[in-house]
Structure 1
Amino acid sequence: MTASAAPGSDSPRAQSPGPVPGADPGAVGPWLAERLGDPRWTDCTLSPIGGGRSNLTYRVASPAGAVVLRRPPVGEVAATAHDMGRERRVITGLAGTAVPVPQVLASSDGGPPVDAPCFVMELVDGVVPLGELPAGWAETGADRGRAGQALVDVLVALHAVDPEAVGLGDFGRPDGFMARQVRRWGKQWDASRESGGAVEQSTADALTGLAGTLAASVPTTQRDTIVHGDYRIDNCLFDADDPGRIRAVLDWELSTLGDPLADLGLLLVYWHEADDSPIWRGAQHLSSPTRLPGFPTRAEVAAAYAAGSGLDLSPLPWYVAFGTFKLAVVLAGILARVHAGMVPASMADGLDDAVDPLVALGEHVLAHGIDR
């Protein structure tokens, strides 16, 4: 994962070492020492990486070096929502392809070292572009353009991988993938809505209406591929010295076999432009550096992907609208769990009034396309 956010600096994702939820250095260290064959791992420190709304990620440091540990969230979660085995398997399968991924070093199906499934992978140095680019990295428009093109190129490379050839032929059920996705996220929304208190009634009704519109107009899938499930700029680690090179794609917990345009659609939902219209700006609850001069526009990203993949992008607005729907359901679920007292209130920080604009954007894109 990330060891630096800019040449010579620590990642903004990494926090100070100390007690962390879900992982005890006294258990992790000896387990790593045994698995990696080096007793120097026994004396280790753990520091969390990321915000903790999804799978938990830790930087494990010791006299032997540093690695990354991934485990599911602490507490009860859906059976397949945070599947460590699937994430480990897809990273292992993609090793040696044109898709850059960290090397998996050790794994556990449960029990030690964290009383849950987990895996350990190499710590990759590089830059994770968050809301603000680190000083000294991609400072020119040309470099930012190269970073945007690298995002497209890696996505095209992922969707060109033959699942059978990398041992992932049974990694999912691609037939009827998008229809199942609409049903799956619709059921997630039903569960959140029934719990009450997540969003205003008008927003709830609009989100239900968007689900119905999507279900009634599912496009025909052109190609079945490995899909990442949450592909965006801050799930990629770029070379600290070369913004045009991605060193690792991260966070594969939603990966499966399915329709590649689902990845492109969600990427465009997360994409910001400097002169975005109010309908787009309203749905951007996360900051993104793609608003800076030099990054390609959404239309340019789509055109570059079409040129690389050979896919027909005429149905792309549906996939972008599905991306807004999926993200709205995720956020509504977080708000519902906070409202029910199931998770800390801090989980909803920055999410107030975030669902309605996403629904509005989905409706807008279906009616007007991605260019307005």
Structure 2
Amino acid sequence: MDTREVRKGEELEKEVLDEYLRSTFTDLPESPLNIRQFGAGHSNLTYELKIGDWEAVLRRPPKGPLPPKAHDMEREYKVIKAVHPFFPLAPEPMAFKEEELIGKPFFIMERKSGIVYDTEWPEGVTPSPELAKDISREMVDRLVELHSIDYTETPLKNMVKPEGFMGRQVEGWIRRYEKAHTEDVKEGNELKKWLVENIPENEESAIIHYDYKLNNAMFSHDNPSKMTGLFDWEMTTVGDPLADLGAAMSYWMEAEDSSELKEGLGKPPLTTAEGFYTRQEFMDRYAEKSGRDLNDMNFYLAFAYFKLAGIVQQIYFRYKQGQTDDPRFRHMNHFVNKLMDQAAVQAGITEKREG
């Protein structure tokens, strides 16, 4: 996974952190602490920590005021601590610090090594339609594996309330979208009404990652279609597994999508390259491997695009309020509007437009 120099304004207090690490982890080398930042991501800030041959990853919230319950480091730490023994692709958590030692709470976890597929084929990987298909298959199968874990056998059973999950999700994300609304994005009143009135009666509950996308996964250097890590467990909970599938599909762009959709977060994701599954192929394999009925997927897809619009809008709202000056966020309102359109298409409210 590529790292970069720490972005201006997102630096960590190096001396304070070095002292904390040496008091928390025994037998660290005498070498100086080196900090780099992972470049991907638009939410929590993630850093690579190195002291000699010792490596770890630190996650902390972004700077500025945050929405209620968002960027909860303690919760994410507890989630991966609960999931890791049952699903080792989740990194092993190592320490959590509630006190604002570096300005925000943070946790430290295992540093996994491997390949991350984002917008281009990584150096050292030979692209082919066959490899793209194999990666797609692995993405489906690991999601099915996660959803097959009996959450009642994990510590998550004491952290969640899965009953009424979709109702809370719909109502909650409508509130979040409205609270972060700006005049340059759509209100989506008809869509919001449709979502409230069409919640499926699915009572199945599973562990859901809820941010399942290609660049949150890591693959083996030796076998570039074998997943070795899965990251960003901030949104993980227990709920409707088809909501997780829908969320995954909202990120899974395909070649035929409009440029507005594919380029909403920057360069088009690698899933648009030849050989990668279409969303339909992804969902077909998921149905085959999991045995689940996907007849209500239009609802889950509509909600997923609306939820993603809400997430992006919260980021854009922070930019508009001057809480961040990251230039990547300047035109995110256009992506929000496209996602709202996509949700309306899935809901059958508007016709699909070409281009």
Q: Which amino acid aligns with 2:50?
A: A
State the match for 2:16 in structure 1: 27
Q: Tell me the C-alpha RMSD between the 2 structures.
A: 2.3
**DSSP 3-state at the match of 2:228:** strand
Q: Identify which of 222, 225, 241 aligns with 1:260.
A: 241
TM-score, normalised by the number of residues in structure 2: 0.91
Q: Which runs of 4+ in 1 moved over 4 A?
A: 17-20
State the match for 1:5 in structure 2: none
Q: Any residues of structure 2 matched to 1:105-124 within 5 Å, and which?
A: 105-112=94-101, 114-124=102-112
Rounded to whole Å, the distance in 1 between the matches of 2:63 and 2:338 is: 30
Rounded to whole Å, the distance in 2 between the matches of 1:337 and 1:55 is: 13
Rounded to whole Å, the distance in 1 between the matches of 2:66 and 2:41 is: 13
TM-score, normalised by the number of residues in structure 1: 0.87
> Which runs of 5 or more residues in structure 1 are unaligned?
3-10
Rounded to whole Å, the distance in 1 between the matches of 2:60 and 2:44 is: 6
- The answer to whether the aligner puts 1:275 opposite 2:256 as a matched pair is yes
**DSSP 3-state at the match of 1:96:** coil
Rounded to whole Å, the distance in 1 between the matches of 2:18 and 2:30 is: 5
Rounded to whole Å, the distance in 1 between the matches of 2:138 and 2:211 is: 16
State the match for 1:53 in structure 2: 42
Tell me: CA distance 1:26–1:258, structure 2 relative to 1, closer, same or farther (3 Å). Answer: same
| Corresponding residue pairs, total | 349
Q: Any residues of structure 2 matched to 1:1-372 within 5 Å, and which?
A: 2=1, 11=2, 14-16=3-5, 21=10, 23-40=12-29, 43-51=32-40, 53-112=42-101, 114-137=102-125, 139-193=127-181, 196-199=182-185, 203-204=186-187, 207-276=188-257, 278=258, 281-284=259-262, 285-286=264-265, 287-344=268-325, 346-367=327-348
Rounded to whole Å, the distance in 2 between the matches of 1:98 and 1:309 is: 17
Rounded to whole Å, the distance in 2 between the matches of 1:341 and 1:155 is: 37
The 10-residue stretch of structure 1 (315-324 or 356-365) with the greater mean CA deviation from structure 2: 356-365
Tell me: CA distance 1:62–1:80, structure 2 relative to 1, closer, same or farther (3 Å). Answer: same
> Which runs of 5 or more residues in structure 2 are unaligned?
none
State the match for 1:7 in structure 2: none
Q: Is the 8 A contact 1:221 1:259 kept in 2?
A: yes
Rounded to whole Å, the distance in 1 between the matches of 2:30 and 2:286 is: 43
Q: Quote the sequence identity (%).
A: 30
